[in-house]
Structure 1
Amino acid sequence: MRKLFTLMAAMLFSIAMYAQNAPTAEEQERENKAIEAFLPTLDARRSEFVGQPAKKLFDVIRGSAFKIRNVSPKETSPWAEYKGKMWVYGLSLFNKPAQQAMKDKEVYRISIILDIRWESSAFWDSISPAGPAWMEAVMQKCLDAKVKEVSWEHFYIPERKTASEK
Structure 2
Amino acid sequence: MKRLFLLMVSLCFGITMYAQNTQTDAERERENKMLEAFLPILDARRNEFVGQPAKKLFDVIRGSAFKIRNIGTESTSPWAEYKGKTYVYGLSLFNKPVQQAMKDKEVYIIRIILDVRWESSAFWDAASHAGPAWMEAIVRKCLDVKVLDVSWEHFYIPERTTSSEK
The CA deviation at 1:12 is 6.3
Which residue of structure 1 lines up, in the alignment, with residue 100 of structure 2? 100
Amino acid at match of 1:133: A
Alignment of 1:63-82 (within 5 A): 63-82=63-82
Q: Distance in 2 between matches of 1:165 and 1:12?
A: 41
Does residue 33 (structure 1) correspond to residue 36 (structure 2)? The answer is no
Deviations, residues 115-149 of structure 1 (Å, cap 9, x unaligned): 00001111112222100110111111001110000
CA drift of 1:82 comes to 1.2
Aligned to 1:46: 46
- The amino acid across from 1:119 in the alignment is E
Alignment identity in percent?
76
Letter in 2 for 1:49: F
Aligned equivalents of 1:86 and 1:11: distance in 2? 47
> 1:31 is aligned with what amino acid?
E
Q: Which residue of 1 aligns with 2:58?
A: 58
How many Å apart are 1:15 and its aligned residue? Answer: 4.2
What secondary structure does 2:129 align onto?
helix
Greater Cα shift, 125-134 or 106-115? 125-134
Distance in 2 separating the partners of 1:131 and 1:61: 23
Cross-structure match for 2:91:
91
Aligned equivalent of 1:158: 158
Following TM superposition, by how much is the alpha carbon of 1:72 offset from its aligned partner in structure 2, in angstroms?
A: 0.8
Aligned residues: 165
Could you state the TM-score of these two structures normalised by the residue count of structure 2?
A: 0.91
Distance 1:117 1:22, change over 3 A: same
Which residue in 1 is equivalent to 2:118? Answer: 118
User: In 1, Cα distance between the equivalents of 2:164 and 2:6?
Assistant: 40
Unaligned runs of 5+ in 2: none
> Equivalent residues in 2 for 1:7-18 (5 A)?
13-18=13-18
CA-based RMSD of the aligned residues comes to 2.0
Shift of 1:8: 8.7
